[in-house]
Amino acid sequence: MLVVHPSSTCDVCLDPYSWATPENTPHAIACGHIFCRSCLHLILEQRCPLCRKAFQEDRIKKLHVDQCNAPNDEHQNRDREYLSQVSLCFPEDTSDEQVNGVVGEVHQWLATRSDDSCMTLKALRAAVEGLHKYKLLIVENLRDKNMIRKHVRAVHELREDNRALRAVENAAVLKCTELTEQLEKMEQDCAALRSERARYHAELTRLKHLSNPLPPPPRQIHLERAASLTAPSSQSTWTTPAAVPSYLIYTQRPDGSYMQGPIAPEPETAPVLREDETQIRSPHR
């Protein structure tokens, strides 16, 4: 026969088991958990509220209570009152002042209690410990949320920076491509200029080594030197030499090249005659 302590309460409604009313008497189901009869009849799915195992209504067993001395009802009522206050502190919108006030009163009350066999006292201590852990979890959860928000903002900033860097990279690639095309064009132009320069250099070299097909131009002498030559006789007659066309006259420059046409005489030099002239025409008298 299963026995239940007189201070035990239902795990669903937290009401103490009563022997005067059948609805509050303790009943056990197949999984071994104990509840009052009224709570078992209110369960629609017929599953244990604690372990969620199925049970049959006709297999519910009524339990009996031993004959031990019942605890002080006043203490149990205070335990239930504090237990109710602690349960109201679990919502997140409960202020810290309210939670600290309730927990302080409960600790003072628990300091005056030493009956560890009382179920309501055990439940109150467990509730206070659970509230403390729950509040710590809320603080940790808030800290984790703030950390997650911080990391999310950092990720967004990194994505924006990544987009900006990609834009800069694309612009740099386009600029590099443009400069590469310009460099290739400039190299082609330089190659063309080198080829043209080589062609001109070869042509100039060929012209320098090319022999002049015309005879060398006559040398020029001064008139004073011409006067010292043989004087004309009285019987000799003057003949006017034929003029040489200017396009057949080539004059050598100081750099060794030739130019077409005679060089204009400088004002300071006296008129000269060619060396091959044997006679000088006298002026008319």
3-state secondary structure the chain: CCEECCCCECCCCCCECCCCCHHHCEEECCCCCEEEHHHHHHCCCCECCCCCCECCHHHCEECEECCCCCCCHHHHHHHHHHHHHHHCCCCCCCCHHHHHHHHHHHHHHHHCCCCCCCHHHHHHHHHHHHHHHHHHHHHHHHHHHHHHHHHHHHHHHHHHHHHHHHHHHHHHHHHHHHHHHHHHHHHHHHHHHHHHHHHHHHHHHHHHCCCCCCCCCCCEEEHHHHHCCCCCCCCCCCCCCCCCCHHHCEEECCCCCEEECCCCCCCCCCCEEECCCCCCCCCCC
Find, among 32, 36, 60, the residue nearest to 46 by Cα: 60
Please tell me the total number of residues recorded for the chain in this structure: 285
Chain segment 160-183, per-residue pLDDT in tens? 999 999 999 999 999 999 999 999
Report how far residue 37's alpha carbon sits from residue 249's, in angstroms, rounded to the nearest whole number: 146
pLDDT for the residue 192: 94
Widest Cα–Cα separation across the chain: 191
Instruction: Identify the segments of the chain with pLDDT beneath 70.
Output: 1-7, 64-73, 92, 115-118, 212-213, 220-285
**Cβ neighbours for 225, distance < 8 A, ≥ 6 positions apart:** 272
pLDDT for the residue 155: 95
Beta bridge partners of 36: 26
pLDDT for the residue 122: 77
Contact between residue 118 and residue 79 where contact means Cβ atoms under 8 Å apart: yes
Residue with tokens 């006067």: 227
**Cβ neighbours for 70, distance < 8 A, ≥ 6 positions apart:** 6, 7
pLDDT for the residue 166: 94
Find, among 70, 69, 82, the residue nearest to 112 by Cα: 82
Chain segment 134-159, per-residue pLDDT in tens? 888 888 999 999 999 999 999 999 99
Distance of CA 149 to the CA centre of its chain: 20
pLDDT for the residue 283: 46
Q: pTM of whole model > 0.85?
A: no
Contacts by residues 42-46 (CB-CB < 8 Å, ≥ 24 positions apart): none
pLDDT for the residue 180: 94
Structural domains of the chain sorted by starting position, each given as residue range(s) with its CATH number in brackets: 1-70 (3.30.40.10)
pLDDT for the residue 284: 46
